[in-house]
Structure 1
Amino acid sequence: MSGFSEEVHTYWQSQMIQGSIIHLDEVFTLVSNPSLKEMYKVMILEMTNKHTMAVATPCVVEDLKLKELEEYTVEVFREAISSCKIELHTPDYIYYLPNNRIIPAKPIQDSITFRPLSEEHDVEVFRAFEAKCSEEDLDGAYVSLKHWVVYGAFDGEELIGASSAYLWNGTRLADLGVIIGEDYRDRSIATRLVQAICMDIIDKGYVPQYRCQTDNTASVALAEAVGFSLFGEWEVILAKE
């Protein structure tokens, strides 16, 4: 997992390998972590080197008798958790920039400009943009003018795309969202917009983090176009109500 910043490794180690190690080998690690957030009953992180780390709260470990498994593999672990009333959420790909650096795209000659947005000056233009977007796109992008850093893409005076970042779980990782107006897609605007906000985040001393569902081919393509590299595939399992 070389090439990613120390903040990335420190955060995921704190989530996945702190606590009591139940099993550890070359391909699978299972940990009981009493400090795991209550909302995260179980987490699974499959790294790009194909090593899978799984962590669970002590209550889940006890309920599923995870210390008594006859064999410790990813398949056996998944079989064990499937027997309980838990819900497996759609996996996310987690991306970071190698060495936390951005390589700007080649300039494109068009009328699109990019700049930071603020609640003080851009509420009206942001609301007008949101009104043109579908609820599905807004929910999926999770872009907010209230976030820590916000950037907009403009065609003249019209806001036609936005990207925002908030600090992830109290770390120096800045989790990104992006949305582009339907009439402006497939023009490399999203790539340039995300690169612009990433450069700002890096200049502030933080680490851009990009997440998307594994079946979202458009988001995967955007991550690669921006210059992100895949860190791993992350699954969260929550207790059912």
Structure 2
Amino acid sequence: MSEFSSTVESFWQSSFLSGDIIFSSDALSICANPDLGADRQLMLLETAAGKLQMALTPALADKLGLYLQTGLTPALLRQKLQDAGIALHGADYVFYFNEPARQDLLQEPQPGHIRQLSEADEAVFAEFQGNASEQDLDDAYVELDHWAVFGAFEQDRLVCAASMYPWDEQQIADQGVLTLPSFRGQGHARSVVRAISRHAYAQGYEPQFRCQLDNTASAALAQSAGLSLYGTWDVMASGSDE
């Protein structure tokens, strides 16, 4: 039985187990899924347990010669992708709350310096963005017009913010978080992530936290906020199949 919710498991299974399972072993499964979108013609999910799952369009499966294959391993599959000139975008860690962590989160009172933001906070949010680097803004993708936005304040100054939006039209809310440099390491991001995640649950959504594999600070934040690693997720880079 999975430690994660049925919402999480159903979301990933809809891509990686829907269609024609053309290869399956303890270490690897490959699904030819005709319903994949143009921007996700090939996806890889390596679970925290270590199993690699691939979903790809039937056309790509045929191009790669994956039908009726035997003896495939994750290493051999990745070599096939490389030989075919198919590049990957770059994997993300994907984190969720497991059930015990979710219960702890929902029972926790919200700190007084954390609150939800609205259009009325446009000025303080603009000041917050003005004190952040362009790189940090691009990486975090925190916007005031997202589905939900929460912030941490120090003396009426917004020092950390997180925003969420529904992901892939599912009951999953993907989030980004940004703390101003001089206020990092003080627990603001952890508190904001937990606050916005409680809000997501209250609205019937499963909070999701993603970050690139080389973003060690974000990965550490996810774990400190009580989230557990579900796996790593990657997609084919745009134009690599041409």
Same fold at TM > 0.5: yes
Matches within 5 A, 1:75-94: 75-94=75-94
Matches within 5 A, 1:60-71: 60-67=60-67, 69=69, 71=71
Identity %: 38
Whether contact under 8 Å (2:160, 2:179) holds in the other structure is yes
Counterpart position of 1:160 = 159
Counterpart position of 2:196 = 197
Secondary structure of the 2:145 match is: coil
The answer to whether structure 1 residue 126 and structure 2 residue 125 are counterparts is yes
Instruction: Give the Cα–Cα distance (whole angstroms) in 1 for the partners of residues 125 and 218 of structure 2.
Output: 22
| Runs of 4+ off more than 6 Å | none
- Output the amino acid matched with 2:104: I
Instruction: Give the Cα–Cα distance (whole angstroms) in 1 for the partners of residues 232 and 219 of structure 2.
Output: 12
User: Taking structure 2 as the reference length, what is the TM-score of the superposition?
Assistant: 0.92
C-alpha distance 147-196 of structure 1, shift in aligned 2 (>3 A): same
User: Taking structure 1 as the reference length, what is the TM-score of the superposition?
Assistant: 0.92
C-alpha distance 238-48 of structure 1, shift in aligned 2 (>3 A): same
Question: Unaligned regions of 5+ residues in structure 2, if any?
Answer: none
Counterpart position of 1:103 = 104
Instruction: Give the Cα–Cα distance (whole angstroms) in 1 for the partners of residues 204 and 161 of structure 2.
Output: 22
- Output the amino acid matched with 1:51: K
Matches within 5 A, 1:8-157: 8-67=8-67, 69=69, 71-99=71-99, 101=102, 103=104, 113-119=113-119, 121-157=120-156
Instruction: Give the Cα–Cα distance (whole angstroms) in 1 for the partners of residues 57 and 78 of structure 2.
Output: 15
Displacement of 1:102:
5.5
Displacement of 1:103:
3.1
- Output the amino acid matched with 2:207: P
Counterpart position of 2:172 = 173
Displacement of 1:135:
0.8
Whether contact under 8 Å (1:41, 1:238) holds in the other structure is no
Q: CA RMSD in A?
A: 2.1
Instruction: Give the Cα–Cα distance (whole angstroms) in 2 for the partners of residues 68 and 39 of structure 1.
Output: 26
Question: Unaligned regions of 5+ residues in structure 1, if any?
Answer: none
Whether contact under 8 Å (2:33, 2:55) holds in the other structure is yes
Instruction: Give the Cα–Cα distance (whole angstroms) in 2 for the partners of residues 223 and 5 of structure 1.
Output: 17
Whether contact under 8 Å (2:22, 2:68) holds in the other structure is no
